[in-house]
Amino acid sequence: VEATLTDGPLKGRHVIVTSGPTHEPIDPVRYIANRSSGAQGSAIAEALVRLGARVTFVTGPASVPPPAGVELRLVETATQMKDVVEAALPADAAIFAAAVADWRVEGASNAKIKKTATGDVPTLALTENPDILATVSQRAEGRPKLVIGFAAETNDVVENATAKRARKGCDWIVANDVSPETGIMGGTENAVTLIDADGAEVWPRASKSEVAKRLAERIAEALGPA
């Protein structure tokens, strides 16, 4: 077990980390979700705490426990996540590791939807969720100095992630290939490419905690002493 560096390079810094999936209700007993475990987000928050940062950890219903030492904010939906992130500002850096649902159910039912005698099936109308990363990246005031997004892609990883960085207006994108054959989604390892204004840097495949540690060190380097 590594000790927390209370005098670490991120001492005096506030970092927001989003993590996990979001759940978008269909009715009180059903929801739309995705396969994110929250493992990479948890590992990043833990690595930041170890370097001395104050971490606000905003997480959807993840399957791994949150790390010790964070300010924990539990949310369910994308809309709640956005509100909680904005309320946690200002921050020196914000890392958007959550797998936010792109859509929510429009007019979710307040009562359990029942089967009908005729066998008619319900139709779900979807509406787009707010893009939390883009909203924070494009803030006119109170934008964190360093805004980092993730891009989970199944093809043309660097090309897609580079376009995503420009579209969102964030500083860095941590891109990864989540094709089923990589085993990364839901696994313990990650293979990422860090994309910044200067281009793409391929990192070796490593455990999610090694990737997190390297990212936290890179963040400390970029922010400099508080």
Question: Can you say which residues are annotated as belonging to the binding site?
Answer: 102, 112, 130-133, 150, 164, 168
Positions in 83-142 near Ca ion (CB under 5 A): 102
Residues 36, 77, 129, 176: which binds ligand CTP (CB under 6 A)? 129
Q: For residue 216, give the nearest of 10, 6, 3 by alpha carbon.
A: 10
CA atoms of 177 and 159, how far apart (whole Å): 12
Question: Is 93 within 8 Å of 148 (Cβ atoms)?
Answer: yes
Residues 93, 100, 216, 220: which binds ligand CTP (CB under 6 A)? 100
Give the shortest CB-97-to-ligand CTP separation in angstroms. Answer: 6
H or E element that contains 152? strand 146-153
* Contacted by 152, from Ca ion, ligand CTP, none: CB < 5 to 8 Å by type: ligand CTP
Residues 27, 76, 102, 217: which binds ligand CTP (CB under 6 A)? 102
Give the shortest CB-119-to-ligand CTP separation in angstroms. Answer: 34
Give the shortest CB-199-to-Ca ion separation in angstroms. Answer: 24
Nearer to ligand CTP, 51 or 101 (CB): 101
H or E element that contains 196? strand 192-196
Residues with catalytic roles: 34
Beta pairing partners, 54? 14
Question: Is 91 within 8 Å of 142 (Cβ atoms)?
Answer: no
